[in-house]
Structure 1
Amino acid sequence: MEKKNRVIGIRVIDLDEVDSTNEYAKRIAPEVPEGTVVVAKRQTAGRGRRGRSWASPEGGLWLSVILKPPRLDGRLVFVGALAVSDTLADFGIPSGIKWPNDVWAGGKKISGVLTEGKAGEYTVLGIGLNVNNPLPEELRESATAMVNFIGARVPLERVLERLLFHLDGWYRVFLEMPELMMAKVRERTFILGRTVRVIEDDNVLIGRAVDVLDDGSLLLDIGGQLRRVLYGDVSLRFL
């Protein structure tokens, strides 16, 4: 793929198997240039938010990007979500963002994004995208894969190429015009206007999702009172 003037994808490390691409990326982050990407055919200990396991068999796209922005910023999760949404559109698959870190298609989860970092050093942006991989039986009601929409296996190399292209573009927007990125997040966040249940630490909040603010937080209307929910360690469900 064309790498001239690119940040993300300047170097791609291909692995057959790894515990977690995020963990691998964190181990090498201090020594490699920004934009280095770690891709694995399989993860043995893939993780989602709140430490949940993420099934990562061969056939899916499991990757992590090492970024070195001026400061830690949780909004980097939206760089991943927007890039995944654009990649799916390239293959004719409409999708939307389930705040803060999932991408859904056809009413089911197709991708998850996870950011981890070390202040002043790096941020690792991890993405799991179901492409051709089989889904565990217990997830088939709630998850889907690109192959289910296209009806044939999708070349992983092509999906990776498009994803890295869009990641690079949205990362540049994040650095230069974060308010524009957040405007696009609002456009694609399909939970707005819906009643949701949010678990924030030990608190359970039930309200109508009103807006995604420029700082990345979710604005909830709880019985007429507005409550701002940070995009950190939360779990969100529809009612």
Structure 2
Amino acid sequence: MGFTIDAEKALWDDATYADVLVHCQGREWHCHRVVLCPQSSYFAKKCLTYTSRDGVPNNQKPIVIEDKHSPEDVEFCLKFMYVHIDYQSADGVAKEEQLEDDQLFGISNLAHELGSTGLMKWSAAFLDAIVDGFQSHEAMVRMMNDIHRKCIDPALIKVADEWERDDIEEFLQDVHVRALLSEASVTKYLDSFERKMRDSEMRPLLSQESVDTYSDTLNRRMAVMGEQVADEVGGKSGKRKRTQKR
């Protein structure tokens, strides 16, 4: 880019030589194409020079980030491109910018939409730093669930899927943790284990503990389904009796 890190810091949000104005929810930032475009396919596309139907060159229009993203996440992502692109520690960046762990999801999603490889790599590294501090399976499962619910970055979703694949039996063996698992996670586990049981080469390799965990999980699933059917039948029966009395 031709800038030193100090020069980039000096340019951050300085309108003097800015040639890009970024908007989000009433906030605006003065930026520079030479900094943003090499780091973001989204900004590179938005900064293309062409004239739209209203006759205004595209590169003279403010770039508006959708309101679903918070101004705080936008500011972090923009500042990252100026100040932190050569970071040494993902956790160090988070501490310097006073980020909370749960801001990871919004930043990761915005980084994915911006097409910023550097920001997406930072997000994955920050996730690793957060997980390194976990002391329990409960914390791991809560994070896994949050990623599946909130993230759109395939890299982070892949990480959560790997946790689920590698540690699902341990999660299921903990009575408190298994209550946190989603139905989708349990179903995926049961389907996967059933395929292993049917595989003549895989079945002999399964430990008795694994088989017991599978059997216990399946029995609990069947018991819940039985209760649901009973409640449904009971509800319909009660409704018929009330109708007959009328």
TM-score, normalising length from structure 1?
Answer: 0.25
The structure that has the greater radius of gyration is: 2
The structure with the greater share of residues assigned to strand is: 1
Higher relative contact order (CA 8 A, sep 6+): 1
TM-score, normalising length from structure 2?
Answer: 0.24
The structure with the greater share of residues assigned to helix is: 2
